[in-house]
């Protein structure tokens, strides 16, 4: 029933009434985090000094996390645009921390340091016995995301990389002899 002077309300079932389409669905943070964890990440490998994958008992060995170029996303990279629902999402990859396994039953604590070479490297280990060791570095990555080219936002997800490559390290000893001339 309409009051005099007021038009009747439009019939929402009338095809002549223009309709406003509903807004596109917005991805949830859970969907964005899931997309981040499915990215093709590179795997960090361990680089050591002295070079040549050999070291001496009692000599500090220096370690550094190395990222293979073009083998996947690594810290500092920005992903290609990903379609998520009707939105475009990009991810910026950031290293969270590293843990070095030395192959003699010991490993470092998680550290934000990537390590480095002599004399400034801060990830070192000294072996006490000879033998071949399986050395590796575990890496965890975090990131930021942006939607449709907007501002970067913290993601709040951690990609704990698995199955990083193992490097074989030979630990050798020395012998001293007294030689007379």
Give the start-to-end residue ranges of the domains of the chain. Answer: 29-165
User: Is the per-residue pLDDT at 5 higher than 70?
Assistant: no
The pLDDT-based confidence of 106 (bands split at 50, 70, 90) is very high
Question: Which H or E run includes 100?
Answer: strand 87-101
| DSSP string for residues in 29-71 | HHHHHHHHHTS-B---EEEEESSSSEEETTSEEEEEEE--TTS
Residue 125 phi/psi, 5-degree rounding, is -150, 140
The pLDDT mean for the chain works out to 89
State the pLDDT at residue 163: 85
| DSSP string for residues in 141-176 | EEEEEEETT---EE----EE--SPPPEEEEEE----
Q: Read off the pLDDT of each residue in 131-135 and give the average, rounded to a whole number.
A: 96
Lowest mean pLDDT among 16-30, 31-45, 103-117: 16-30
User: Is the per-residue pLDDT at 9 higher than 80?
Assistant: no
pLDDT digits (tens, 9 = 90+) for 157-167: 999 998 889 99
State the pLDDT at residue 126: 96
pLDDT digits (tens, 9 = 90+) for 55-71: 999 999 999 999 988 88
In this structure, the dihedral spanned by the alpha carbons of residues 32, 77, 157 and 25, taken in order and rounded to 10 degrees, is -10
State the pLDDT at residue 73: 94
State the pLDDT at residue 12: 64
State the pLDDT at residue 70: 80
State the pLDDT at residue 3: 61
The pLDDT-based confidence of 86 (bands split at 50, 70, 90) is confident
Q: Read off the pLDDT of each residue in 10-26 and give the average, rounded to a whole number.
A: 71
Lowest mean pLDDT among 16-20, 108-112, 133-137: 16-20
Give pTM, 2 decimals: 0.79
* 126 or 68: which leads in pLDDT: 126
């Amino acid at each position: 029933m309409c009051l005099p002077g007021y038009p009747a309300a439009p019939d929402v079932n009338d095809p002549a009434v223009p309709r406003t389409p509903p807004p596109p669905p917005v991805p949830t943070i859970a969907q964005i985090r899931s997309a981040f964890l499915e990215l093709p990440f590179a795997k960090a490998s361990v680089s050591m000094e002295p070079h040549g994958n050999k070291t001496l008992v009692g000599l500090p060995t220096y370690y550094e996390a190395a990222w293979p170029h073009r083998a996947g996303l690594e810290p500092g990279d920005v992903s290609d645009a990903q379609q998520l629902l009707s939105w475009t999402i990009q991810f910026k990859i950031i290293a969270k921390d590293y843990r070095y396994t030395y192959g003699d039953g010991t490993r470092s604590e998680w550290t934000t340091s990537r390590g480095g070479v002599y004399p400034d490297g801060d990830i070192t280990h000294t072996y006490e016995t000879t033998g071949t060791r399986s050395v590796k570095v575990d890496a965890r990555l975090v990131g930021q995301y942006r939607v449709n080219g907007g501002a970067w936002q913290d993601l709040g997800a951690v990609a704990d990389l698995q199955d990083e490559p193992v490097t074989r390290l030979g630990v050798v000893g020395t012998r001293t002899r007294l030689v007379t001339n």
